[in-house]
Amino acid sequence: MNRFVEFINTGDEDLAREGISPDAVFHAPSHPEPLRGPDGYLEVLGMMRSAFPDVQWTLEEKVTEGDTVAARFTMRGTHDGEFFGIPASGNEISVQAMNFYYLADGRIVGERGQPDPLGVMQQIGAVPAPWTS
């Protein structure tokens, strides 16, 4: 998981190919169909980095059972690019995500994640926060 966190925080393609199986399946709420392999994950990272160029993930905690890892992250960044049609606001975001990773032979073969898209949209000003409406 430490190498994976290094990969998502740098976007290093070599780390992606080292730690993610070519057959890996990722379920991302931004895509109706699962993404596959290192290139699929790099696609999602590219989308996030185009909207939040300074995005960083902090692994807050993890629980491992066999070949499954549950991980809670904090994602932080500055909204300096378009995000799902919302122009850059310059707002800083900080949201939580909970992901499950499935491993085989020391590589990630799958991921199911629960990010906080509502929190992101509220923090970039696209959706009013309930406490301000």
∠ CA(86), CA(30), CA(73), 5° rounding?
Answer: 95
With contact defined as beta carbons under 8 Å apart, do 66 and 19 qualify?
no
Say what the pLDDT of residue 44 is: 92
Q: Which two tokens stand for residue 132?
A: 């301000």
Q: Which residues are 27's β-sheet partners?
A: 112
pLDDT along the chain (133 residues), means of 10: 95 96 93 94 95 98 98 98 97 97 97 94 92 59
Is this prediction's pTM over 0.85? yes
Q: Which two tokens stand for residue 32?
A: 């109706």
User: Quick one: DSSP state of residue 10?
Assistant: H
Say what the pLDDT of residue 132 is: 57
Q: Which of 53, 54, 24, 64 is nearest to 40 (CA)?
A: 24
Say what the pLDDT of residue 12 is: 96
